[in-house]
Structure 1
Amino acid sequence: MGGALGAVALYLIWLGWHAPYRQGRDSNVETGPYDAQQVAGLALSLLILAVLLAWRLAPRPAAFGVSGGLWIACSADAASRPSSDGLWPIGSFLVLCAGAGAALVVSEVALRLRRRQPAAR
């Protein structure tokens, strides 16, 4: 539960203040609504959150909680956008798949590291 709430909070912090789409400076290509550093910051923050929770708590529920929270926040944001063209479920599914894949990797690494660590006395 904490992982999901943390992921939603990080999503709102990094991507909750997005700007409208804008015209590229050197081309007629429309960009946005997020800047690359916003998305990279969110990804790094989510990774840190997932690793910390997986290390301190049960790895699989922690990592998949972060993934689920990201999916819920992303889906709610995309579905509620007035400019939504109806394709948001496809993007939502891709976020779900990528998040689940990342959660699986993080949880497996955390499990293997925990097994190698000697028991605390």
Structure 2
Amino acid sequence: MDHRQDATGSASNRVRSVLGAVVLAGLTIATWWSWLGSDTTYQVDPVTGQRTGPYEAWQVAGCVLCLVVLAVVATMIGLHQWVVVPVMSVAFTVAWSGAAIAADRSGLWGVGAVMVAVGMVVGSYVVVSAARTVLARRQR
């Protein structure tokens, strides 16, 4: 009887992890779209004529803050770090890459995609590790 309970618990944990991963991926993509993906406007300095953008610093900061909150909440509800880190990293990188491919004329979108992916992996790992440390200390 204990064996069946363990198997049932394990199956429900897998379902919860899969559902959590799907929701997390969707929220990560929505975060990208809300802060960065919907902005394709470049700014031109009237004095120098230099073109910048399309993102402003406040947009990137807002996006990063929302991604931090997503990673912390995902950790708090019990998603394992080896679910949170790859799901968020892949979802954000794919969303960013889709827009970059469409807008890139230089062929350098791949370099940007690698930079985004590395940043997402490192950043989400650091945030999840910190959240796990805080949660473990609170449970003592």
Give the 4+ runs in structure 1 shifted more than 4 A.
Answer: none
Residue 84 (str. 1) matches residue 100 (str. 2): no
- Aligned counterpart in structure 1 of residue 129 of structure 2, from 65, 83, 108: 108
The 1:118/1:23 distance shift into structure 2, 3 A limit, reads closer
Q: Distance in 2 between matches of 1:59 and 1:24?
A: 46
The structure with the largest alpha-carbon Rg is 2
Deviation at 1:63, TM superposition (A): 3.5
In structure 2, the residue corresponding to 1:90 is in which secondary structure?
A: helix
TM superposition shift of 1:18:
1.2
Q: Which moved more, 1:26-35 or 1:87-96?
A: 26-35
- Write the letter of the residue equivalent to 1:113: V
- 1:22 & 1:32 partners in 2: Cα distance? 6
Q: Report the equivalent of 1:24.
A: 45
Structure 2 counterpart of 1:65:
87
Corresponding residue for 1:47?
A: 68
Greater relative contact order, per chain length (Cα 8 Å cut-off, separation 6+)? 1
Residue-pair matches, total? 118
Identical-residue share of aligned pairs (%): 28
Give, in whole Å, the separation in 1 of the partners of 2:93 and 2:70.
15
TM value normalised by structure 2: 0.75
Q: CA RMSD in A?
A: 1.8
Query: Does the CA-based 8 Å contact 2:24-2:88 persist in structure 1?
Result: yes
Q: Residue in 2 aligned with 1:38?
A: 59
Match of 2:33 among 12, 31, 38: 12
Report the CA distance between 1:49 and its aligned residue: 0.9
Q: Where is the helix percentage greater, Structure 1 or Structure 2? A: 2
